[in-house]
Amino acid sequence: MLKHYDHSKAETKWRKFWEAKKLYKTDLQDSTKPKYYNLVMFPYPSGDKLHIGHWYSYAPADSWGRYMRMKGFNVFQPIGFDAFGLPAENYAIKTGVHPAQTTKTNIAYMRKQLKAMGAFWDWDAEVVTAEPDYYKWTQWVFLQLYKNGLVYRKTAPVNWCPSCKTVLANEQAQDGLCDRCDSEVTKKDLTQWFVNIKQYAQKLLDYKGLDWPEKTRLMQENWIGRSEGSEVDFEIQGYDKKITVYTTRIDTLYGATYMVLAPEHELIEKITTIENKKSVENYIKKTRKATDIERSAEDREKTGVFTGAYATNPVNGAKIPIWIADYVLVHYGTGAVMAVPAHDTRDFAFAKKYKLPIKEVISPINNSIKSTLPKAAFVDDGKLINSSEFGGTPSAQARLDITRFLDKKGLAKLKINYRLRDWLISRQRYWGAPIPIVYCDKCGEVAVAEKDLPVKLPMDIDFTPKGDGKSPLNTSKKFVTTKCPTCGGPATRETDTMDTFVCSSWYFLRYPCSQLEGKPFEEKMLSKWLPVDMYIGGPEHACMHLLYARFIHKAMHDLGYVKASEPFKRLVHQGMITKNGAKMSKSKGNVVSPDEFVKMYGSDVFRMYLMFMGPFTQGGDWNDKGIVGIKRFVEKFWRAMMEEVKDGEKIAPAIIHKTVKKVTEDIDAMHFNTAISALMALANEASGKVLSKDQKQVATRLIAPLAPHLAEEIWSKVGGKGSVFEESWPTYDSAQIVDDEITIAIQVNGRLRGTILIPKDLGKEAVLARAKAEENVKKYLAGQVVKEIYVPGKIVNLVVK
C-alpha cells in the first residue's frame, strides 16, 4: 500500500472517471427518486476570475449536493454565468477589447477553475446569459410581463454625470459619485422602462412555507416597507382642487398646523401665489440641482418655502399654510404631508425654523410617561386632547374613528402604503439584453413578435459613450432600422438594454429545461423541478436579486408557467471572506486566488480547509496558516484506511456509530466545521488500530461529500465497487452508541468537585451515594445537604448549607 496520498494524481484520475461516467449529470425526467434542486448563485465572469469567496460558497454547496445524493435524492446541481454587465463594458471602453471577447476569455478560465474543484455541476445544463439562446428568453420573459401590464414606460429622473455627460446605473453612482470621474451625480429626466414590482408588494411579504434566514426576510420586509395609514383630502382655499396627503397618524389631525408638498408636486405651479412665485421657483431650482450627496447628508437642516396658498383642515376648518420642502419625498405616499409639529420630529424642526405654530393634540396615556414637549416632538401614541369630540380617545382607536368620520364625507380612507418602488430596468448601455420593443410612426410602441426573438445584440459596434446619454446601440443603423411587426411599415428599435438583474432573476427556470430542445418554459418540467430546494449565495442580494427573482417567479406562476409560487424553498447565506478585515476587491488589490492552493494541496484539502475555518454562515478573515492541519488530517485518514493492522487493538464499534451520528447531524445542520472535527477524531482514534473492511467503507462514505476525490481513491482500495457516490449514506445503530459506563460530574453548590464512573443504568440513590463517598467531594459536605440534584447521565449537584 502507498505510504502517501498523491492528491494531484488521484484528483485528476477521479475527475476523469466522473466525467467519463457522466456522474454529474442529472436525469431530469427520472421519477424513481425524489428530486432535489441544489443551486448556487451563478458567478459573474469578471477579470478577477474565481476567488476564494466563490470556493467558500460553492465547495460546501457541492458537499451538500453530494450528501443529498447519497441520502437517495435525484440531485440537480447546475451552474452558469451571469455574463452581461458593466465591468466588461467599462473595460471595453478603456481598452477597446470587445466585451464579448473579455467575457468569453473569463468564462473559459473560470470553467477550468470550477472543474478543478471537482464539483458535481451538471455542465450539460450550463447557461451563459449573454448568449442569444439565453437572452432570447430574457426577452420572452419581458414580453410576458409587457403583455400583462407589468412593464411600462415613463419619464423618470436617472443618475446623470455632468462631467461625462452620460447616464449612470445606480451601481455606477454609488455614494453619489461617478464611477469613472468621481464627479457628483445629479438627476436628469429620461423616459425609462419600469417593471411594476410594486403591484406584487403584498404578495412578496408572504413567506409561507419558506425556510429562509430571519435576517433576509426582515431585510426584504424593511425594503418593501408596508405601512398602514390613511389618505386625507385637504381643500385648497380659493382653488377648486384638493391635496391628498398620506399619514399613519391621522389621530394627530387636529394638530396639523401647516402642510408640505414635495418640490416635484404637480400642484405647486397652480397654487403658488404671484408674490411667492419667484422664491418658489428658486427653491425648486436649487433642490433640483442638489446632488444626492447633499440631499442625503446627515442631519441636514430642513429648508422650505411658503407657496402663499392655504388649505382647510377637514376636521376643524382651520386655515393652514401650504409650504414646499424637500424633506417630503415625491415618490412616497402622495408627495404631500400634513405637518403636525407637536408630534413629528421632522415637522417639529421645520416649524421651529420657520416659526410655525405647534399645537399639542396627544398626551401620554398614563402618568408614568411624560410628554417630551415643548423641548421635542412627542411622537408616541397616547390619548387625544384639543381634538373636540375625539378628545380622550386612544391614538389607535382615533385613527379608525377619524378616518371613518371623514370617510362619510368622502374626505378620507384607510390606505396601505409601500416603500418599495418600481424596478427601473432600462440601461443606456451596450452590454445587455436588448429590450424587444419597436416604435412605429403609425402603430406607436409595438412588442416584437415572439417568433422573431431574439433581438440580437449587434457585435460590430462602437461602444464608446457619445456623451448624449443614449445607448451605444443608437449608433448602429442596422440595429435601429426595422419593420413594424404589426403593419410592416418602417420602425425603429428600442435601444436601451435591460438591467442585468433581469437576466439573473429567472435563470433558475432555464436550467431544468436545458434537456428540452428550445422550450425553456415547459410547464411540466418547471413544475417538476421548482421550487429550488436549496439556494446558496451571499446575503448582499437580499433586496435586489432575491426580491426580483421572487417577483419574476410569482409573475410567471400567476401566468401559469410554473406551479410553485416561490422560487427558493430554502435559502442559506454563506458568510463573507475578507482579507485583513476588508472585503476582497480588485481596487483594494486584496483578491486571493484559490488556484495556487488547489495546485499545492488539492481540491479536497482546500475545500475542507475553507469549511473548517468556522461555521459556513459566519465567514471569516482569510489566512492560510492552518491549511497544513487539513493536509495532515488527509494523510492521517488515508493511512488509517490503508493500514492493514493485524493482531492489534480493534476499534470500538461504538466509535464508528457515534461518528456516523455526529457527522450526519452536523452536515444536516450545515456545520461542516464540526463534521470535519468529528472525522479528525475518528482518524486519531483509528490510527494503528484494526478496522474491518466494513468499518473502513463506512468511514469512507462519511468523508465522501467533504473530500470527494480522496474518498473515491480510498473506496477503490477498501473493496468498494464503482463510485462511492453511488452508495447510500451510512446509518448508525443508537443501541451501539450508549456506553456501558458513563462519567458523571459531581458538583457541590455548583462547583465541580470530582467525577465518578458509573454503570449506565445505576439508579439515582446509588449514584448519589457514590457521589457523596467520593474522596474529594466528602471534604465539601461538612454542612447539611439541603438539596440533591441528579441529571441522569450528566451531573450531580449537592447543595450544602
Q: Site residues for RNA, window 199-218 (CB under 7 A)?
A: 214-215, 218
Q: At what angle do helices 693-703 and 708-717 cross, to 10 degrees?
A: 160
CB of 457 to RNA, least distance (A): 30
CB of 491 to RNA, least distance (A): 39
Q: 347 or 533, CB closer to RNA? A: 347
- Residue 326 interacts with RNA (CB under 7 A)? yes
Q: 67 or 81, CB closer to RNA? A: 67
Cβ atoms of 686 and 651 within 8 Å: the answer is: yes
Unique residue bearing C-alpha cell 383642515: 313
The region of 142-150, 222-230, 397-405, 480-488 touching RNA under the rule CB under 7 A is: 222-230
User: Beta partners for 745?
Assistant: 755, 795
Contacts of 488 (CB under 8 A, 6+ apart): none
Cβ atoms of 377 and 344 within 8 Å: the answer is: yes
Q: 292 or 558, CB closer to RNA? A: 292
CB of 210 to RNA, least distance (A): 16
Q: Can you say whether the dihedral through the CA atoms of 701, 57, 526, 431 is positive or negative?
A: negative
**What is the three-class DSSP state of 610?**
helix
Q: 57 or 514, CB closer to RNA? A: 57
Cell of 64: 451538500
**Residues between 615 and 644 with contacts to RNA, criterion CB under 7 A:** 615, 618, 620-621, 625-626, 628-633, 635-636
**Residues between 680 and 719 with contacts to RNA, criterion CB under 7 A:** 680-681, 683-684, 687
CB of 221 to RNA, least distance (A): 8
CB of 291 to RNA, least distance (A): 12
C-alpha distances out from residue 227 to 204, 415, 579, Å? 14, 9, 40
Q: 329 or 414, CB closer to RNA? A: 329
Which of 222, 237, 316, 728 is in the footprint of RNA by CB under 7 A? 222
Q: 111 or 346, CB closer to RNA? A: 346
The region of 100-108, 291-299, 304-312, 561-569 touching RNA under the rule CB under 7 A is: 291-299
- Residue 335 interacts with RNA (CB under 7 A)? yes
What one-character DSSP code corresponds to residue 355? T
**Residues between 644 and 683 with contacts to RNA, criterion CB under 7 A:** 671, 673-674, 676-677, 680-681, 683
Q: 459 or 752, CB closer to RNA? A: 752
- Residue 239 interacts with RNA (CB under 7 A)? no
- Residue 333 interacts with RNA (CB under 7 A)? yes
Number of C-beta neighbours around residue 650 at 10 A:
12
End-to-end CA distance of the chain: 65
CB of 526 to RNA, least distance (A): 31
- Residue 346 interacts with RNA (CB under 7 A)? yes
Q: 231 or 496, CB closer to RNA? A: 231
**String marking each residue 255-274 x if it binds RNA according to CB under 7 A:** -------x------------
Q: 49 or 671, CB closer to RNA? A: 671
Q: 473 or 675, CB closer to RNA? A: 675
CB of 578 to RNA, least distance (A): 9
Rounded CA separation 629/722 (Å): 30
CB of 173 to RNA, least distance (A): 13
The region of 130-138, 307-315, 434-442, 740-748 touching RNA under the rule CB under 7 A is: 740-748
Angle at 571 between CA 111 and CA 51, to 5 degrees: 30
Task: Give the residue ranges of DSSP H helices in 559-671.
Answer: 595-601, 603-612, 627-642, 653-668
**Residues between 513 and 572 with contacts to RNA, criterion CB under 7 A:** 539-540, 542-543
* Main-chain dihedrals φ then ψ at residue 123, nearest 5 degrees: -65, -20
How many residues line the site for RNA (CB under 7 A)? 81
Count the residues in the chain: 801
The region of 324-332, 425-433, 526-534, 706-714 touching RNA under the rule CB under 7 A is: 324-332
CB of 287 to RNA, least distance (A): 9
Nearest Cα residue to 497 out of 237, 103, 129: 129
Task: Characterize 363-402 residue by residue with b for buried, 16 or more Cβ atoms within 10 angstroms of its Cβ, and e for exposed.
Answer: beeeeeeebbbeeebbbebbbbeebeebeebebeebbebb
Cβ atoms of 640 and 632 within 8 Å: the answer is: no
Which of 7, 54, 66, 249 is in the footprint of RNA by CB under 7 A? 249
Q: 181 or 789, CB closer to RNA? A: 789
**Residues between 383 and 422 with contacts to RNA, criterion CB under 7 A:** 417, 419
CB of 113 to RNA, least distance (A): 24
Cβ atoms of 567 and 511 within 8 Å: the answer is: no
Would residue 54 be called left, alpha or beta, if left means φ above 0 and alpha means ψ between -120 and 50 degrees?
Answer: alpha
- Residue 734 interacts with RNA (CB under 7 A)? no
Rounded CA separation 416/333 (Å): 9
**Residues between 769 and 788 with contacts to RNA, criterion CB under 7 A:** 776, 787
The region of 14-22, 224-232, 396-404, 457-465 touching RNA under the rule CB under 7 A is: 224-232
CB of 257 to RNA, least distance (A): 13
* Helix H or strand E segment including 461: none
Strands 319-325 and 258-261, how do they pair?
A: parallel
C-alpha distances out from residue 630 to 592, 610, 625, 634, 709, Å? 19, 10, 11, 6, 15
Q: 196 or 677, CB closer to RNA? A: 677
CB of 177 to RNA, least distance (A): 16
Which of 373, 443, 745, 768 is in the footprint of RNA by CB under 7 A? 745
Cβ atoms of 532 and 572 within 8 Å: the answer is: no
Cβ atoms of 722 and 646 within 8 Å: the answer is: no
* Main-chain dihedrals φ then ψ at residue 304, nearest 5 degrees: -175, 175
User: Beta partners for 311?
Assistant: 236, 320
Which of 183, 248, 363, 527 is in the footprint of RNA by CB under 7 A? 248
Which of 728, 731, 743, 764 is in the footprint of RNA by CB under 7 A? 743
Q: 441 or 668, CB closer to RNA? A: 668
Contacts of 318 (CB under 8 A, 6+ apart): 256, 257, 312
Which of 96, 149, 518, 750 is in the footprint of RNA by CB under 7 A? 750
- Residue 227 interacts with RNA (CB under 7 A)? yes
Unique residue bearing C-alpha cell 375625539: 390
Rounded CA separation 322/263 (Å): 12
* Main-chain dihedrals φ then ψ at residue 353, nearest 5 degrees: -65, -40
Rounded CA separation 786/563 (Å): 64
CB of 683 to RNA, least distance (A): 7
The region of 295-303, 425-433, 454-462, 652-660 touching RNA under the rule CB under 7 A is: 295-303
**Residues between 583 and 612 with contacts to RNA, criterion CB under 7 A:** 583, 612
Angle at 326 between CA 325 and CA 330, to 5 degrees: 105
Rounded CA separation 710/191 (Å): 58
**Residues between 39 and 98 with contacts to RNA, criterion CB under 7 A:** none
Q: 50 or 608, CB closer to RNA? A: 608
Which of 17, 73, 123, 223 is in the footprint of RNA by CB under 7 A? 223
